[in-house]
Amino acid sequence: GMSVLDRANKVALSGDDMVEALGVVNDLPPEDRRSMQARTVRLLQHFEGTGRPGFYNAGEVVMAIEFRFWALAKLHLTEHRGLAGWILPTGDRFDYVKDELLSVAATEPLVEIDGRVAFDAESFIDHLLAISEEHGRA
């Protein structure tokens, strides 16, 4: 059958879905925000019954969103010169300052690196810079 990663990659997400998920998580009390279980439960409640076409079930959607946020966090974009301005850590929240970042995080293929879900950093950054140029922001 399909691997978990293949299933996550099949879920069609948009940058708006990522923004929405981030808003839901950031609205949790700080101690819940740090608990993966609390975050997942809250996201499941939120996406349950949204009944949007192209969405499989809330479990698959939330899995794909969680994977994409993990992969994004592991990219350590702040270490890449010129990309530090894309992320603004504020306390234990992350405010992603540009919509383009979450658009790429929603659509860039997830890969496995050292047995973990990840994005290919070079590909992610190329994708990000291409979108920014289109929007005249780079």
Q: For residue range 23-63, list pLDDT tens digits in order.
A: 899 899 989 988 989 999 999 999 886 655 555 688 888 99
pTM for the structure as a whole: 0.81
If one counts every other C-beta atom within 10 angstroms of the C-beta of residue 105, the result is 24
pLDDT in the model for residue 84: 59
Provide the number of structural domains found in the chain.
1
| pLDDT for the residue 132 | 76
Does residue 14 register a pLDDT over 70? yes
Question: Residues of the chain with pLDDT > 90: what percent?
Answer: 38
Mean of the per-residue pLDDT values of the chain: 82
Q: What is the domain extent for residue 70? A: 4-134
Out of 1-10, 75-84, 92-101, 106-115, the most confident range is 106-115
Q: 88 pLDDT exceeds 70?
A: no
pLDDT for 100 equals 82
Nearest to 49 by CA among 38, 58, 60: 58
The more confident residue out of 2 and 88 is 2
Residue 105 has pLDDT above 90, yes or no: yes
State the Cα torsion 86-24-110-60 to the nearest 10°: -170
